[in-house]
Amino acid sequence: MEWLDEGLLLRTKPHGESNLIATFFTQLHGLTTGYIRTNKKYPLQPGNLYHIRNKSRLETHMGLFTVEQHETFAPIICAALISPIKLACINAIRTLLITTLIDHDATEEFYIRLKDHIHEICLSGKTEHYVLFEKDLLTHCGFGLDLTRCAVTNVRDNLTYVSPKTGRAVTESIGHPYKDQLFHLPTPLSDSNTPWNKADILDGLKITGHFLQRMLHEHLHRAIPPERAFLISLINASKVTNVI
């Protein structure tokens, strides 16, 4: 069984003195783990993008990976290493991917969007793309949020709240009597032309966090990785109010 793919390195575990067991999120093969004979001179960096060649006897066997760094991703990971919030985003992304995804469940569209989100977070400093990543992750896992129209009236304007039960948006007039039980919907999440601010990011994380918690707790019996809470604490502590 031989295939070529590209993937984001999520985790490495040392095996013996210089070899590794590495988990990637790949474009065509989803979450996949393989064995790598490494050279200590060129260590593999989780968070980086690699070209992967897999060789295994059967499809179900753990393959022997030969990897080569994707040059276009180098500036991204460099930008992440020097910024606490960008680094926390990368850590939260990779831990969430490992915690939520099942092996070999690939969606090319999600993979491409994930790469775009990482690019925007690290090179443009747009932390809001982390919220969009979590929204896409929920959609990929079958828990998509419907934030484009009101669940009751079907209108597309003035969407202000999100139901914690259905993940669907409602307008101000419909949701107001129940506002204590609903999440506040940040405007940029339903209208992509509106710029984000810090409060929008935190509101967005509250919504995605609730559904991630539900999905992980009820279906996978796992807890949300602490990296996510650390990221939220950094965003909370940041002094800048619009772009972080």
| Count of residues that interact with other proteins, criterion CB under 8 A | 31
Q: Are 130 and 121 in contact (CB under 8 A)?
A: yes
What 8-state DSSP symbol labels residue 223? Answer: P
Residue 98 found at the interface with other proteins (CB under 8 A): yes
Among 127, 163, 165, 131, residue whose Cα is nearest residue 147? 163
Q: Minimum distance between the CB of residue 28 and other proteins, rounded to whole angstroms?
A: 24
CB distance 76 to 122 below 8 Å: yes
Q: Which of positions 113-172 make contact with other proteins (CB under 8 A)?
A: none
Beta carbons of 117 and 132 less than 8 angstroms apart: yes
Q: Among 84, 156, 194, 240, indicate the residue that binds other proteins (CB under 8 A).
A: 84
**Counting contacts by CB under 8 A, is residue 43 touching other proteins?**
yes
- Crossing angle of helices 198-215 and 226-237, in 10° steps, is 170
Of 97 and 201, CB closest to other proteins: 97
Alpha carbons within 13 A on the beta-carbon side of 184: 8
Least separation in angstroms between CB 78 and other proteins: 4
Please tell me the distance from the alpha carbon of residue 135 to that of residue 211, in angstroms, as a whole number: 9
102, amino acid identity: I
Contact range with other proteins by CB under 8 A, out of 58-66, 77-85, 138-146, 173-181: 77-85
Assess contact for 129 and 90: CB atoms under 8 A: no
Regarding 227 and contact with other proteins (CB under 8 A), the answer is yes
Nearer to other proteins by C-beta: 82 or 102? Answer: 82
Residue 92 and residue 70: Cα distance in Å, rounded?
A: 21
Question: Is residue 87 a contact point for other proteins (CB under 8 A)?
Answer: yes
Among 63, 186, 188, 225, contact with other proteins (rule: CB under 8 A): 225
Which residues form the interface with other proteins (CB under 8 A)?
11, 17, 42-43, 45-48, 69, 71, 74-75, 77-78, 80-82, 84, 87-88, 90-91, 94-95, 98, 225-227, 230, 234, 237
